[in-house]
Amino acid sequence: MSSGPVLGIESSCDETAAAVLDGGGRVLAEAVLSQTGEHAPYGGVVPEIAARAHLAHLPGLVRAVMDQAGLDFAALSGVAASAGPGLIGGLIVGSGLAKGIAIAQGLPFVAVNHLEAHALTARLPGLVTGGAPFPYLLLLVSGGHCQCVAVEGVGRHRRLGGTVDDAAGEAFDKVAKLLGLPWPGGPALERLAVSGDPARYSFPRPMLGRPGCDFSFSGLKTAVSLEVGRHGAGALDGQAAADIAASFQRAVAETLADRAGNAMAMFPEAKLLVIAGGVAANGAVRAALEEAAAARGVRLVAPPVRLCTDNAVMVAWAGIERLRLGWSDPLGFAPRPRWPLDAVDMRP
């Protein structure tokens, strides 16, 4: 069982992050270094650039959070790092550094599934009034993932449904690009939508009303592309762009609420609906999900925005949850670019 501080390292995509939590889950220090500036000229994340940025900045970031926490590495009880899914270069950098610290200090190493880290965030002490006991329902909505998961315990996850094509965050980014917005597109589109009319364009709600809780956003993205094309190259005025952004955002929010409603019906044991991932920071999405949850007597848990997007606090906490059960991983554990949440090791 972990009784002392745990260092968490996150490097699965384009955020370089480190955090130190004490054994009870209190955040002693945290830092996130965004790589937006490095990737913005390319309109998306370039894996090689991301890996090089992690390699350049992660050691200093780890030292900074350890200094901020007032700890030496010898005071740690374990080291946790995102080991998948994600961009393999970044995963190698982060898990390699974590393993090096573990070897040098004789500490247990925890290979954290990045998706499980999101799933367990709601259990951080003090985050949810009354706590977040198992089981609960997770709606993970990010740039690369969109799925409903029954979270039944640490290492015990059951996928109820997921996207059959684009993830919600990916659709946000692609539509933002169609509208000429800067990358990352999701936050820029939400800002533009504030001044738009969400009822002007009747975009499709993919899968709406169908059984199950699978998602599809490619048709919605295509509908927006066709509408933009109807205005002609460079002829989309500011108000039309805002109206398209608002109409698209409403379509996504209503689709997510419908699918989450089905997931709640499929998993009636859950009294909490937890949303995580970058899209969970979107105000319209949160409002739609709040309404859907309330209609079914389920409480919506939306972590603070800084804990919805990629961060190392969630990685350290996932490490603590596993160390408390006596679980750690061999130093030979290989990072996994693909690692489904329902394939996480369930140990006795």
Token pair of 117, please? 């880290």
Residue 233: per-residue pLDDT? 55
- CA distances from residue 305 to 30, 45, 311 in whole angstroms, order as listed: 15, 21, 10
Nearest to 280 by CA among 322, 241, 320, 311: 311
151 shares its domain with 271: yes
Strands (E), the chain: 6-10, 15-21, 27-34, 78-84, 109-113, 136-141, 146-153, 156-162, 272-276, 299-301
pLDDT band at 234 (very low <50, low <70, confident <90, very high): low
Measured in degrees and rounded to the nearest 5, phi and psi for residue 23 equal -60, -20
Query: Do 173 and 274 fall into the same domain?
Result: yes
DSSP helix/strand/coil, 196: coil
Pair of tokens at residue 267? 């998993």
Please check whether residues 179 and 68 belong to one and the same domain.
no
Q: Which domain holds residue 218?
A: 134-302
Ramachandran sector of residue 70 (left: φ over 0; alpha: ψ -120 to 50; beta: rest) = left
pLDDT at 73 over 90: yes
**Within a domain: 190:** yes
Q: Are residues 97 and 199 in the same domain?
A: no
Q: What is the pLDDT of residue 26?
A: 97
Mean pLDDT, residues 92-108? 98
pLDDT at 348 over 70: no
Number of structural domains in the chain = 2
Measure Cα distances from 219 to 11, 49, 293 in Å: 32, 31, 26
Asked if residue 253 belongs to a domain, the reply is: yes
Q: Which of 287, 302, 317 is the last residue of a domain?
A: 302
For the segment 33-42, the average pLDDT, to the nearest whole number, is 90
**Residue 164 maps to a domain:** yes
Question: Quick check: is 92 in a domain?
Answer: yes
- Residue 126 resides in a domain: no
Q: Domain for residue 1, yes or no? A: no
Strands 78-84 and 6-10: parallel
Answer yes or no: do 291 and 148 share one domain: yes
Do strands 109-113 and 136-141 pair parallel, antiparallel, or not at all (unpaired)? unpaired
Q: Confirm whether 202 is domain-assigned.
A: yes
Is residue 1 scored above 50 in pLDDT? Answer: no
Same domain, 334 and 197: no
Token pair in block for residue 185 = 């597109």
Query: Is residue 268 located within the same domain as residue 143?
Result: yes
Same domain, 151 and 113: no
Q: How far apart are CA 85 and CA 251, in angstroms?
A: 28
Regarding whether 330 and 213 lie in a shared domain, the answer is no
**How high is the pLDDT of residue 142?**
81
Pair 37, 184 in one domain: no
**Spatial contact of 57 and 49, defined as CB atoms under 8 Å apart:** no
Task: Encode pLDDT of 199-209 as tens digits.
Answer: 999 999 999 98
| Predicted confidence (pLDDT) per residue in 146-200, tens digit | 999 999 999 999 999 999 998 999 999 999 999 999 988 999 999 999 999 999 9
Is the predicted pLDDT of residue 2 greater than 80, yes or no?
no
Same domain, 275 and 148: yes
pLDDT digits (tens, 9 = 90+) for 246-280: 999 999 999 999 999 999 999 999 999 999 988 99
Give percent of the chain above pLDDT 90.
85
* Interval 58-64 mean pLDDT: 98
71 and 164 in a single domain? The answer is no
Q: Give the domain CATH number at 104.
A: 3.30.420.40
Q: Does residue 61 lie within any of the structural domains?
A: yes
